[in-house]
Each structure stands twice: as C-alpha cells, then as structure tokens.
Structure 1
C-alpha cells in the first residue's frame, strides 16, 4: 500500500500538485494521511472524490486516515460522506 500525506491547505493553488501525487500512486492501494489538513477546498475535494471512484473501479482501496477535524468538518459542509472519498473494504 502506498502512502500519501496531504498538505495543510488544499485550495486551488494546490490542486495540480494533489492530482499529480494521487495519479503517481495509481494501480495500487493508497492510504492518504489528512491529519494536517486545515483547509479543504471544493476542487481538491472533487479530486479526492474522483480518485476514490477510479480506485474503486480498478479494484483498489483508497483510504483517508488519519483525518483532521478540519477535513471532516469540510466534508460535512460540502455534504459529502467519508464513503464518497474512499473506496474498498476500509471505506
């Protein structure tokens, strides 16, 4: 399983880097550490939702753990559940 630690601020200026980092880990299970996230923007969230769908369709797990309170609060604000940004049995 590959590991990826998210930046603290995931706004428009970090979306390209986030996308590249996630794509670099395709084809394998991926554990994402969101414990440092203080700001989760809509486009970054969209990247995570898309990644979860792609990983699930490919038969791989994508889990986000640990998560900061700010990350979980952003999911709530956007009306997105944790299962929307994860795939596999751990989701």
Structure 2
C-alpha cells in the first residue's frame, strides 16, 4: 500500500530540512507525493525531491508524483527538471 506525502505550499530554503526529514522517515515505503497545494518551488527542495526519486528507484520502491498545482508545473519546468514520474526509470 502506498503512502501519500502532502507537500507544503512553499518549498523554499526554510522547507528543505523538514522535507528531507519527512522523506527519510518514509524511505522504504511506496510513496505518492501530492503537490496540489504547492505555490512556490525552490531549487534546494527540487534537488531533495530528485535525490529522493533516485533513492527510491535504487531501493526498488515506487515513488510517484500525484496531483500537482499549476504553480508546481510551471516552476518545475522553469527549473529545467526532467519529468518526475519518468526520471530515473530503468532503460
């Protein structure tokens, strides 16, 4: 069974450490990220999320992105990040 982590509205420098801690506490569990409330996404939180994606893939556990806000979509693309649900997929 997959757990869901609802991401904070503001994922900036101040949110980085709490986000990292939440993800580490859920490591080893199938996880869906809910980004429907995100209004701002900063580079450090993006790096944490991409690192989590690689970690979950290396552990053989599913980590996926569920609902997203328009802000998430725009800022994810503006930061040049690859598609979250396909990044790290085995070729």
- Same fold, judged at TM 0.5 (above): yes
Corresponding residue for residue 70 of structure 1: 71
Q: What is the alpha-carbon root mean square deviation over aligned residues?
A: 1.9
- Per-residue CA deviation, residues 15-64 of structure 1 (Å, 9 max, x unaligned), is 00000011110011101100000000000000000000000000011111
Corresponding residue for residue 84 of structure 2: 83
Stretches (4+) displaced over 3 A: 83-88
Quickly say closer, same or farther: Cα 1:80–1:48, change in 2 above 3 A: same
Q: Is 1:14 equivalent to 2:33 in the alignment? A: no
Q: Tell me, yes or no, if the aligned pair for 1:51 and 1:85 is still in contact at 8 Å.
A: no
- Superposition TM-score, scaled by structure 1 size: 0.89
Q: Is 1:29 equivalent to 2:30 in the alignment? A: yes
Structure 2: tracts of 5 or more residues without a match: none
For residues 13 and 26 of structure 1, the distance between their equivalents in structure 2, rounded to whole angstroms, comes to 21
How far 1:83 moved relative to its partner? 3.2
Aligned residue-pair number: 89
Structure 1: tracts of 5 or more residues without a match: none
- Superposition TM-score, scaled by structure 2 size: 0.89
Q: Tell me, yes or no, if the aligned pair for 1:48 and 1:85 is still in contact at 8 Å.
A: no
Quickly say closer, same or farther: Cα 1:87–1:26, change in 2 above 3 A: farther
